[in-house]
Amino acid sequence: LPLAQKEAEVFMKKNAGKSVTVIGGGSGVGISALLDNSTDIAMSSRKIKMDERMKLQDAGRAFKEVIIANDALSVIVNPQNKVSKLTRAQLEGIFTGKIKNWKEVGGDDMQIVVYSRETSSGTYEFFKEHVMNRKNYASSVLNMPATGAIIQSVSQTKGAIGYVGLAYVTKEVKDIAVSYDGKTFTMASIENAKNKSYPVVRPLYFYYPTSKEARIKPFLDFVLSAEGQKIVDQIGYIGLK
């Protein structure tokens, strides 16, 4: 959302008379808007699902998929938490509810309070698939409607943990290092995402109806241009080059 807003703002300044309206709400919301023909472009931080693909096909709506940037997903805790690194298996344990106390992963004797995005979020889907090995979130997990709400909750709750896109990380929360092999722990950063040493990286997609290609092409071309990709890096995402 912050990336598309900035791209639209700069694009409109350069192209008088052209208007781009950007609305958030989660990847599922964007793809639903594509289904009911109420948007020209759906933003999604996850790949379109098979059932969504089938619905578009049944409705006779041919569409195209374009990757416009990449994003590193940061795991965040409260700054007072002494834990500074976790393995993928430990994260799976925490988010599925098997690990309930910070002392189980080298922290203080303190209950773990888990925050997640809500089910319509592409970030929720991506984290479940790539970090939790497709296992279900614990029923005790607190689902938040937006990334800002996760940042706020984690910053105010001593035992909290959550996940957010790298571009959203603030000084109010602590970013932790993640390991998939249990040996090498890496922090989320643009550099580590680009050199592929940080494991939790995902593409960011634009989906659009083929019938509207001519209408959206000037904006899409701008986003994929050198100038558009420079904005990607400035906002805190990872450019395609």
Which parts of the chain sit beneath pLDDT 50? none
pTM summary value: 0.86
| pLDDT for the residue 120 | 87
Q: How far apart are the first and last CA of the chain?
A: 21
pLDDT digits (tens, 9 = 90+) for 142-170: 999 989 999 999 999 999 999 999 989 99
Q: Which of 65, 67, 85 is nearest to 75 (CA)?
A: 85
Q: Would you report the helix, strand and coil content of the chain in percent, each value rounded to 5?
A: 40, 20, 40
Looking at residue 241, what is its pLDDT?
77
